[in-house]
Structure 1
Amino acid sequence: MVRVGGIVFIVGAVATLVTVAPLFLGTEPFPPIAYAVCMLMGLGFLIAGAGILRSIASQRREARSTASRSAAA
C-alpha cells in the first residue's frame, strides 16, 4: 500500500506541476479535469499513510504473539 500511495502521490505531484506551468508561461490554462488529477497527490498521501498504519499494526500483533509464546514457555 505504501508503494501504491507513493506512485499515486508522484502522479498527482507531476499533474500539479503541469497545471501550474501555464501560469508562469502565460499560456492558456488546462481544462478543469487536469486540476482534478492534482487531487491524486493528497489521495496518494492518504493511501501511503494507511499502509504505514497497517504495517505498524501487523508488527505489533506479531510482537505480542512472540512475547506471549516466550512468556508461556
Structure 2
Amino acid sequence: MSSASSVSSQSADRGDAYVKAGTIVFGLGALATLVTFVPLFLHLTPLPSAAYWLSMLMPLGFLLALTGLLLSARAQRRRVRAGA
C-alpha cells in the first residue's frame, strides 16, 4: 500500500466516522424535539428550557454528517487522481 492510498484511506475512514456520529447526534436531537413538543400538543406542563436546547443537536448532527460526506468525497477524489 502506497503512502498516498494510506492517507486517502484514513481520510475516508474519518469521513465515515463523522457520518456515523452525525447520524447518532441527529437522532438524539430528533428524539429531544419530539419529547419537548409532545407536552405542548397535549396541553401538559412544558419542559424546562434546557430540554429545548437539546433539540439543537439535530442541526449539529446534520452538520457533522455533511462534513463526513464532504471528507469522504475528497478522499475518493484523491484516490481516483492517484490511480490515474
Please report the TM-score for the alignment, with normalisation by the length of structure 1.
Answer: 0.90
The separation in 1 between residues aligned to 2:81 and 2:75, in whole angstroms, is 10
Q: How many residues align?
A: 67
The separation in 2 between residues aligned to 1:27 and 1:7, in whole angstroms, is 28
Name the counterpart of 1:64. Answer: 81
Name the counterpart of 1:70. Answer: none
Q: Within the alignment, does 1:40 sit opposite 2:74 as a pair?
A: no
Identical aligned pairs, as a percentage?
54
38-47 vs 22-31, which moves further: 22-31
**Structure 2: which 5+ runs fail to align?**
1-17
Q: Within the alignment, does 1:17 sit opposite 2:26 as a pair?
A: no
List structure 1 segments (4+ residues) > 3 angstroms apart after TM superposition.
none
Instruction: Indicate the structure whose relative CO is greater, using CA pairs within 8 Å and at least 6 residues apart.
Output: 2
Letter in 1 for 2:69: I
**Structure 1: which 5+ runs fail to align?**
68-73
CA-to-aligned-CA distance 1:15-34 (integer Å, 9 cap, x gap) = 00000001111111000100
